[in-house]
């Protein structure tokens, strides 16, 4: 920096003190006076860095338990005035306004505070920063003249460029943009925490980048994963153990798999492709569940994503190895809560490019969590369809034939499966085993979905359960089910042709239950 008799200040006021001593030392070498506040001043002086306390500029002491310290005419003016405007320069001189050319600030830990289950309203309120955002906003607005830093990751390179007087206006602008993102992220959490409105008039969604993805849906597209703060999600603990990095499709396939297996406390497995299950199954253990999920549709399982709700041991890993040896079938991604060293060793040899990921315990879906559907120009929010079992109480047997206890159990399993399969969806579930035998998913015609599910099930359709995520608009689906030996049907009901469907079921001796609840999933 050019030497001048005028003092140039760097204002440092941070809650997170990471790297602040090194930054202050570097800025001192670059010719800046360090202007600072209570906790930051104590940290710096303790490290031997000379500072000017902010009270010397404001003329007022820190007051009201620290609520008032940096908000003042001289501080905000020293950040905001335009150094390229002669009138501003004249006013700054006449008013004895300091030149604050760098603002380094991060905020009270509101995010960490509200993460505590016992947080009170008072604790949350006390961790709403006011002075910090004011300084950050002022500095970001005046980025052509003032450098704003909110992230310790930027300290080193900015300090180096500052010493060389080589920080460009473009770089200043990007730091300002980062600061505005930071403020928006912070304020949105405050609004979400205090609001009890499902659909407020104005809304921002906070997100923090967690993973830069290998690519998007296609190799020419870029993508990144963002997570909302303090959300109980397995993706916060997602860790690569071996193999390929994730693409968008890999990640959404893992998510689709998690949506299925988290519905069950017993061992559950799903093979996913393009967000659609190829096979879903439960078992006495992870090995049995995975074998059934693959057996449900081994042809579709090729190149799929495996998701389990229980740890993967060596016995379970051998299922994947056998699948490759016996059918030349590869799996692209395996995502599990945990994996044993011997299981990881086997899978890394089975296919070198297979991605193996762990995500820890699957937490319960937080109450109040919303689904977001992006559309052109915006997004739609909806409440989630999570309380699947709660709807069982509304089921009604509408045929002369009543379900046995085993049939009712299989019907409930089928309904839980179908709530996480893309609509229009019709599935066939084994008559005894908790596993899919046929899946007709994503169809524009419900009867076509029935045909696909029955065709895939083949001989296993005999005496099996057929489930539909909505009503049958005609009796043709029931007649098709009859031809393939289906003995129980579970569907929404509510069509004007319900009577015809019920009569067709009665003629075939089929038990049919109406859920009185739709299970669309898009």
Q: Among all residues, which ones are annotated catalytic?
A: 141, 274
State the Cα–Cα distance between residues 421 and 147, nearest whole angstrom.
Answer: 50
CB-CB contact of 340 with 318 (8 Å): no
State the Cα–Cα distance between residues 456 and 296, nearest whole angstrom.
Answer: 9
Tokens 């319900």, located at residue: 498
**Which residues lie across from 378 on neighbouring strands?**
375
State the Cα–Cα distance between residues 156 and 129, nearest whole angstrom.
Answer: 25
**Which residues lie across from 453 on neighbouring strands?**
none
Closest CA relative to residue 41, chosen from 12, 70, 67, 82: 12
Q: Sheet containing 8-14: give its strands across.
A: 52-53, 33-36, 8-14, 99-106, 147-149
- Surface-to-core class of residue 401, CB atoms within 10 Å of its CB (0-12 exposed, 13-18 middle, 19+ buried): middle
Closest CA relative to residue 477, chosen from 504, 496, 511: 504
Q: Which helix (H) or strand (E) holds 503?
A: helix 498-508
Structure tokens at 309: 């709700």
Q: What is the DSSP string of 477-501?
A: HHHHHHHTT--EEEE----TTHHHH
Q: Which residues of 452-479 are buried (b: 16+ CB within 10 A; e: fewer)?
A: bbbebbeebbeebbbbbbbbbebbbbbb
Tokens 């909505």, located at residue: 470
Q: How far apart are the first and last CA of the chain?
A: 58
State the Cα–Cα distance between residues 308 and 246, nearest whole angstrom.
Answer: 18
Angle between helices 476-483 and 498-508 (to 10 degrees): 20
SS3 state of residue 252: helix
State the Cα–Cα distance between residues 41 and 339, nearest whole angstrom.
Answer: 47
Q: Which helix (H) or strand (E) holds 465?
A: strand 465-468
The count of residues in the chain is 522
State the Cα–Cα distance between residues 143 and 154, nearest whole angstrom.
Answer: 15
Structure tokens at 191: 């609004």
- Surface-to-core class of residue 113, CB atoms within 10 Å of its CB (0-12 exposed, 13-18 middle, 19+ buried): middle
CB-CB contact of 429 with 464 (8 Å): yes
């Amino acid at each position: 920096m050019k030497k001048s008799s005028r003092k140039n200040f760097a204002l440092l006021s941070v809650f997170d003190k990471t790297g602040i001593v090194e930054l202050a030392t570097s800025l001192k070498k670059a010719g800046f006076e360090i202007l600072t506040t209570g906790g930051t001043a104590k940290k710096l002086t303790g490290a031997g860095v000379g500072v000017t306390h902010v009270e010397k500029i404001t003329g007022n002491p820190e007051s009201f338990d620290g609520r008032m310290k940096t908000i003042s005419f001289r501080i905000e003016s020293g950040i905001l005035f335009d150094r390229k405007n002669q009138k501003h320069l004249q006013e700054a001189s006449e008013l004895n306004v300091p030149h604050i050319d760098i603002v380094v600030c991060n905020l009270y830990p509101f995010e960490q505070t509200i993460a505590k289950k016992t947080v009170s309203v008072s604790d949350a309120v006390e961790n709403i920063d006011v002075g910090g955002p004011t300084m950050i906003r002022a500095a970001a607005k005046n980025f052509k003249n003032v450098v704003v830093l909110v992230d310790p990751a930027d300290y080193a390179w900015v300090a180096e460029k500052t010493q060389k007087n080589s920080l460009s206006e473009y770089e200043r602008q990007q730091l300002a943009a980062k600061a505005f993102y930071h403020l928006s992220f912070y304020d949105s959490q405050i609004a979400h925490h205090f609001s009890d409105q499902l659909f407020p008039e104005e809304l921002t969604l906070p997100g923090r980048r967690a993973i830069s993805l290998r690519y998007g849906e296609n190799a020419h597209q870029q993508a990144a994963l963002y997570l909302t703060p303090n959300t109980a999600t397995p993706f916060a603990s997602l860790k690569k153990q071996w193999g390929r990095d994730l693409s968008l499709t890999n990640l959404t396939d893992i998510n689709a798999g998690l949506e299925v297996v988290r519905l069950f406390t017993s061992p559950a497995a799903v093979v996913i492709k393009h967000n659609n299950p190829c096979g879903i199954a439960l078992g006495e253990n992870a090995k049995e569940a995975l074998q059934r999920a693959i057996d449900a549709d081994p042809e579709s399982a090729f190149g799929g994503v495996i998701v389990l709700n229980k740890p993967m041991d060596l016995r379970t890993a051998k299922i994947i190895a056998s699948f490759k040896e016996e059918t030349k079938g590869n799996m692209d991604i395996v995502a599990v809560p945990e994996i044993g060293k011997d299981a990881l060793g086997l899978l890394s040899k089975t296919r070198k490019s297979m991605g193996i990921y762990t995500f820890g315990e699957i937490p319960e879906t937080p109450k109040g969590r919303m689904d977001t559907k992006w559309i052109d120009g915006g997004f739609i929010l909806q409440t989630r369809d999570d309380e699947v079992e709660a709807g069982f109480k509304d089921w009604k047997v509408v045929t002369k034939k009543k379900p046995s206890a085993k049939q009712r159990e299989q019907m409930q399993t089928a309904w839980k499966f179908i709530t996480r399969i893309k609509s229009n969806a019709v599935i066939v579930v084994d008559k005894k085993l908790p596993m899919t035998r046929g899946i007709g998913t994503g169809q524009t015609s419900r009867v076509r979905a029935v045909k696909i599910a029955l065709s895939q099930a083949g001989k296993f359709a005999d005496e099996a359960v057929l489930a539909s995520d909505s009503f049958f608009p005609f009796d043709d689906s029931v007649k098709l089910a009859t031809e393939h030996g289906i003995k129980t049907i579970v569907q929404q009901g509510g069509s004007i042709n319900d009577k015809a469907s019920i009569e067709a079921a009665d003629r075939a001796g089929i038990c049919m239950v109406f859920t009185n609840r739709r299970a669309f999933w898009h």
